[in-house]
Amino acid sequence: MSASDLGEDRLARQPTDEPVGIFRAIGIARRTTLRSPLFYVLVVGAMQLALILVAIPVIRLLYGLVLVETGLGSIAYDRISHVLRNPLADVTLLAIAIVAVIAIFGELVTLFVLAAHHQETGVPGAEATSLRLVLRQVWRTIKKLAHPQGLLMIVYLILLLPLGQLGLTSVLTKKVAVPPFISEELSKNPSQSLLYSGVLLVITYLNLRLILTLPLLGTTSAGVWEAFVTSWRLTRWRSLRILGLFVVVTLAAGLAIFVLGAATLAPTIATDILAPASSPWLAAVGLSLFQIGVFVITALLTIMIVQSLTAMMRDWLGRLRVDHRQIPTVISYSEPSQVSPRRQKVLWGLAMSVIVVAFSVTAVLNHRTMVNLIDSEQTEVLAHRGFIQGGVENTLPALQAAAKAGADRVEFDVMETKDGKFVVMHDANLQRLAGKNLNVKDLTQDELTKITVRAGGMEANIPTLEEWIRLSIQLNLPQLLEIKLHGGETPDLVPRVLAVLDAAGVTEHYTYDTLSREVVEELKRLRPQLVVGFIVPINFGGVPNVNADFIVIEQQSYSSRFVRQAWAAGYNVIVWTVDDEQQMRDYMNAAVDGIITDRPDLGIAARTDIAADKGLSGRLSDAITRSASF
C-alpha cells in the first residue's frame, strides 16, 4: 500500500469521538496496570538490575580507561580541556555515551512496547506477553539508532529528557541537572534570573512537545527524525494536557509515599519512648520496607506514565490528518504468548526470591547504619560569604551577622586589585552588586573601597582584606579564605596574600581554598603546615589528585561513594552551597566534615536538633525523606 493510500485509509477511519485526554488516558493506564501490577514492578526491577549489573560496570570500565589514558584520578572541571585534547580519550567518551544511550533507550522503549502490546491485546501480564516479540521489537528499535539521526538521541536522552524531570528517568541520568551553584548565582541577578527561568521553560516545553518520541520509535514504523517530527505534530496545542497528566499521576504517587512514610515512622516513635533498645531493628526493618515500597510506587508511577502516553499516542496518531507527509504505521502485536505456565511459575519464584534477599540485605545494612550513626556535631557549618540575611555578601555587616548566627567559620573571597592590594569580593565584575560595569582588576584598592554594593535592601562598602581580618579577630571567628582569580593577577599573588595575613598574625589560624590547582600547590609548597582545600564545582568519577587537605565539592557532584574515596585518600570533604534544611540534615547524618551555606542559622539549628534527638525517630525521618525522592 502506498503512502497516499495509507493516508486515505486513515482519513476514512478517523475516530469521531473526543481525543483521549488526561483522565481517559489515566483510566486506560489504571485498568491495564492494576490487572497485573506485580508483573510491571518486576519488569522495571529487572531492567534496573540489568543496568546496575551490566551497563554501569561497562561504563565504569570505559571511564577507567579514560583516566588511564589521561593520567588523571578524576575529570574535574579544570581537567576537561586536557581530556578533550586526547583523541583516544575522546573516542572512549563517545563509547560511554553510546553505551549509556543504548541502555537508557532500551529500558524506556521496552516499557512502551509492553504498554502497546497489552493495550492492543487487552490482557496485560506475563501470561499475555510474548517475550520473543517484545525483545525482537526492542532490538529493531535500537537498530534505528544506527542512522546518523541516532546522534540526536544522545542529546535527547542524556540531557534534554533528564533536565525536563517529567517522569521518564533512568538510574543512569538521575543526577543530570543544573548544578545548584549555577542556579543560585543566576538567581541573585534579576535579568540573569529571568533568563534562567526562560531557559527552564523552553526545556520543559521541548520535553512536552517531544514526549511521544520514544513510544513512536518503539511502537510504530517511524525513524528517529520522523518520530521527533510526529511527536511535535501530535502534541500541538496539547502541551498542557500532557503536563496535567504528569501532575495528576505524580501527586497521587506523592500522597501514597507520604502515607507509607507516616506508617513507617510511627512504630519507631513509640519504641523510642517505650523500648529504646528495640528502636534500631524496628527502624531498620521499617526503613527497608519503606524503601521497597517507594520502589514499587515509583515503578508503578513510571508504568502509569508510559501507559498513559501510549494511549494518547495511539489515539492521537489515528486522528492525525494527512498533509502530504508520511504518517507512521502502528505495529501490530497479535503474536500469542510463548511463556509456558511452568516457566511463569519459575519466573515468579525467582522474582519473589530476589525480593526476599533484597529486603534481608537492606534490613541488615540499615540496622548497622542506625546503630552506628555518627554524632552529627562533627559537621562544621560555614557561612557562605558571611550571613547574607544580615548584610551584603562579603561585607563587614555580613561577617558580623554570621557571628551572631553562630556560624563555626566564615567562607569569604579575596581578589587582587590593580595596585597589587586585596579586597574582599567574589565577582570579577561589579555589575551585579554595584550596578557598575567595572572590573576589579582595573581598579585600585582605594577606588574599590569607596564603591557601595547593594543586595536585599542592604548596602555596604567593599572591605579591604585588612579590615576583614581585624573584624574576624574581634569576633574570634575562624575563617576560610578563598583566593579568587580574575585573570590579571601578579606572579607573586600567593606570597603577598600570605604577607598580609602574617602581618596580622592569623595565617595559621585561617584555612584556605581555591578553584586553582596551581594556587593550591603553591600554598602547600610555601607553607606546608597550612590547611588548604581544592574547590571542585564539577567532577566526574573519582577523587581529584591534588596536594590538598580537603575537597570542597558542589552538591551535584556529591555522592557517598565520593566521600568514602576522599576519606580513604586522606581528604576531608566540605559540601557547598547547602541551603535546604533537609539537605543539611542529610549531610550531617552522613557526617561530612563541613557544609558551606547561605543560611548558617538553619545549619546550626539543624545540627542542634539532631544532636538533641537521643532516639532514632528523627534520624529515621531524615532517611525516609531522603529515600522518598523520585
The C-alpha cell that represents 45 in the structure block: 526491577
Q: Tell me if 245 sits within 8 A of 20, measured CB to CB.
A: no
Q: How far is Cα 630 from Cα 628, in angstroms, rounded to an integer?
A: 6
Amino acid letter for position 102: I
What pLDDT score was predicted for residue 13? Answer: 42
User: In a 3-state reduction of DSSP, which class is residue 73?
Assistant: coil
pLDDT(12) > 50: no
State the Cα angle at 219 between 214 and 225, rounded to 5°: 50
Q: How far is Cα 397 from Cα 377, in angstroms, rounded to an integer?
A: 27
What pLDDT score was predicted for residue 10? Answer: 43
User: Strand 539-541 to strand 74-76: parallel, antiparallel, or no bridges (unpaired)?
Assistant: antiparallel
Q: Where are the domains of the chain?
A: 3-371, 379-627
The C-alpha cell that represents 273 in the structure block: 519512648
pLDDT band, residue 2 (cuts 50/70/90): very low
Average pLDDT of span 587-607: 94
Name the residue among 27, 20, 259, 301 with its Cα closest to residue 166.
Answer: 301
State the Cα angle at 81 between 79 and 82, rounded to 5°: 65
What pLDDT score was predicted for residue 361? Answer: 84
Is pLDDT larger for residue 6 or for residue 172? 172
Q: Tell me if 537 sits within 8 A of 185, measured CB to CB.
A: no
Strand partners, 409: 382
What pLDDT score was predicted for residue 328? Answer: 81
What pLDDT score was predicted for residue 502? Answer: 97
* Average pLDDT over all residues of the chain: 87
Name the residue among 361, 407, 352 with its Cα closest to residue 385.
Answer: 407
Q: How far is Cα 255 from Cα 28, in angstroms, rounded to an integer?
A: 21
Residue range 360-414, pLDDT digits in tens = 888 887 777 776 664 445 899 999 999 999 999 999 999 999 999 999 999 999 9
Q: How far is Cα 591 from Cα 390, in angstroms, rounded to an integer?
A: 28
Whether the upstream peptide bond of residue 577 has omega within 30° of 0, thus cis, is: yes
Average pLDDT of span 1-22: 53
What pLDDT score was predicted for residue 1? Answer: 39
Q: How far is Cα 267 from Cα 272, in angstroms, rounded to an integer?
A: 9
pLDDT(438) > 80: yes
| 231 conformational bin, left if phi > 0, alpha if psi -120 to 50, beta if neither | alpha
User: In a 3-state reduction of DSSP, which class is residue 528?
Assistant: coil
Name the residue among 227, 329, 242 with its Cα closest to residue 19.
Answer: 242
Our separate counts of H helices and E strands in the chain read: 26, 13
Q: How far is Cα 174 from Cα 165, in angstroms, rounded to an integer?
A: 10
Element (DSSP H or E) covering residue 536: strand 532-536
Q: Tell me if 391 sits within 8 A of 401, measured CB to CB.
A: yes
The domain 379-627 is placed in CATH, from the list 1.10.3720.10, 3.20.20.190, 1.10.10.10, 3.40.50.280, at: 3.20.20.190
Measured on CA atoms in the order 269, 271, 277, 282, is the torsion positive or negative? negative
Average pLDDT of span 253-281: 91
What pLDDT score was predicted for residue 4? Answer: 42
Q: Tell me if 463 sits within 8 A of 398, measured CB to CB.
A: no
What pLDDT score was predicted for residue 6? Answer: 39
Local structure of residue 542 (DSSP, 8 states):
S
What is this structure's pTM? 0.83
Residue range 291-315, pLDDT digits in tens = 999 999 999 999 999 999 999 999 9
Q: Quick one: 444 exposed, middle or buried, by C-beta within 10 A (0-12, 13-18, 19+)?
A: middle
Give every CB contact of residue 449 below 8 A, 6+ residues apart in sequence. Answer: 423, 461, 462, 463, 464
Residue range 126-165, pLDDT digits in tens = 555 667 778 888 999 999 998 888 889 988 988 888 888 7
Average pLDDT of span 75-91: 86
Residue range 617-627, pLDDT digits in tens = 888 888 888 88
HEC string of 382-447 equals EEECCCCCCCCCCCHHHHHHHHHHCCCEEEEEEEECCCCCEEECCCCECHHHHCCCCEHHHCCHHH
Residue range 35-81, pLDDT digits in tens = 888 888 888 988 988 999 999 999 989 988 888 888 877 888 778 88
Local structure of residue 149 (DSSP, 8 states):
G
Which residue pairs from 43-47 have beta carbons closer than 8 angstroms and sit at least 24 positions apart in sequence?
43/110, 43/111, 43/114, 44/111, 44/299, 44/302, 44/303, 45/295, 45/299, 45/351, 45/354, 47/106, 47/107, 47/110, 47/111
Is pLDDT larger for residue 540 or for residue 551? 551
**Per-residue burial over 479-505, b = 16 or more CB atoms within 10 Å of its CB, e = otherwise:** bbbbbbbbeebeeebbeebbebbeebe
What pLDDT score was predicted for residue 556? Answer: 86
Euclidean distance between the first and final Cα of the chain, in Å? Answer: 46
CA 390 to chain centre: 30
Q: How far is Cα 38 from Cα 19, in angstroms, rounded to an integer?
A: 30
pLDDT(604) > 90: yes
Percent of the chain scoring above 90 in pLDDT:
53
Give every CB contact of residue 88 below 8 A, 6+ residues apart in sequence. Answer: 69
